Amino acid sequence: MKILTVNAGSSSLKFSLFEMPEQTVLASGLFEKIGLEDSLYTIKYNGSKKEVKFNLPDHKVAVSRLMEELVSLGIIDSLDEIEGVGHRILHGAQEFSEPTILTKDIIKEISKYNELGPLHNPANLMGATSFIEALPNVTNVGVFDTAFHQTMDEESYLYPVPYEWYKEYGIRKYGFHGTSHKYIWKKTEELFGHNTKVISCHIGNGGSICAIDSGKVVDTTMGFTPLAGIMMGTRSGDIDPSIIPFIMKKLGKSAEEIVDMLNKKSGLLGVSGISSDSRDVEKEASNGNERCILANHIYAQKIANYIAMYNNLLDGADVIVFTAGVGENGIQMRKMIIDKIHSLGVKIDDELNNFRGELRKISTDDSKIMVYVIPTNEELMIALDTYNLIR
């Protein structure tokens, strides 16, 4: 069964075509700058790469062009071979806690929650609508970034604010990166069995940590929005909310402008003053840049604090997993984080830790908690969810 996975942004469309259940990637690519003058697309297939500058006024044209290319390049013989399209959708609120077959009526229902994900949800749904129109006889499935976290109990997802805020306005922790954390859980289940307690550390430009017990989310760091939790590339993570009205007065800016700064000009970028990319910050730190050294230590400490707290919530984790860009490739950052939780008896082997981008155990044999690096694969998780629902 051929399954297409799609992540549609406001001006982009990322895709992968899988042969399932073999999990073979037949093609992948990215349509960029949709709606702009210099739009283009890239398709990788069978060891080849095709790059084309092409006028893409909207997502419908991008989808149409993708369908044409899949056939003309011989990746598939006809569009009838595609049996499912899985769409990454940021926010399903409490209503959508499982992969869901998408129709125009369901999309309208999901759009009620666009105010909870204003930057992503409209684009995700626009992409889904384009595929439903282009492939009317194919099953389209929505896979929600928030879904995996809906297994949290009230004591974890409710905020200590007036209860009416939750009942009337949906103010609660939703959590994000759910597709990635679910994938990590599935891999640890394969390695260690179902009754495994996992601290999944998805650390990239965005980042979140998730405590998982036997497939159930106990807690996660991102909250009502992806701004909460650990320090990230450009996001502040948790701060005292009283800072917002205070700095509004000092800078003469609106609440929306300050929140935008907390989302786009804070985190590693804000502290280092150099970059939101951990590689750049690490390089400058090694050259003695004090603000970059400080940024790295704050970053590691924020992550370590949550790992320690989640170990307590799980009554002792079985495994800590590093994943995503920094988690999979940040040799020095992994060591810094583990060094900051030495009181838990966690130890890594420096030689085992000296690698990037593959599944590997990096903890010592006498470490009280195993530590693994497991590369995430959100596209494959979407394909698996789509395949299983269709099947």
Active site residue 145: yes
Residue 163 CB neighbour total at 10 angstroms:
11
Torsion region of 362: left, alpha or beta (phi above 0 gives left; psi -120 to 50 gives alpha): alpha
Give the distance from CA 354 to its chain's centroid. Answer: 25
**Nearest alpha carbon to residue 220 among 314, 113, 117:** 314
- Cβ 321 vs Cβ 338: under 8 Å: no
State the Cα–Cα distance between residues 237 and 228, nearest whole angstrom: 5
Active-site annotation holder among 38, 105, 145, 219: 145
Q: Are 350 and 364 in contact (CB under 8 A)?
A: no
Give the Cα separation of 307 and 369 in Å (integer): 11
- Among the listed residues 34, 26, 89, 27, the one whose alpha carbon sits nearest the alpha carbon of residue 62: 34
d(CA 34, CA 37): 8
- Residues sharing a CB contact under 8 Å with residue 172, sequence separation 6 or more, in sequence order: 94, 157, 158, 159, 166, 224
Classify residue 31 by burial, with Cβ atoms within 10 Å: 0-12, 13-18, 19+: buried
Can you tell me whether residue 215 is helix, strand or coil? coil
Closest among 111, 108, 130, 131 to 122, alpha carbons compared:
111
Whole-angstrom Cα distance, residue 152 to residue 219? 6
Task: Tell me the one-letter amino acid at 279.
Answer: R
d(CA 242, CA 219): 24
Distance, in Å, from the CA atom of 233 to the CA atom of 330, rounded to the nearest integer, reads 14
H or E element that contains 371: strand 370-373
Catalytically active residues, by annotation: 145
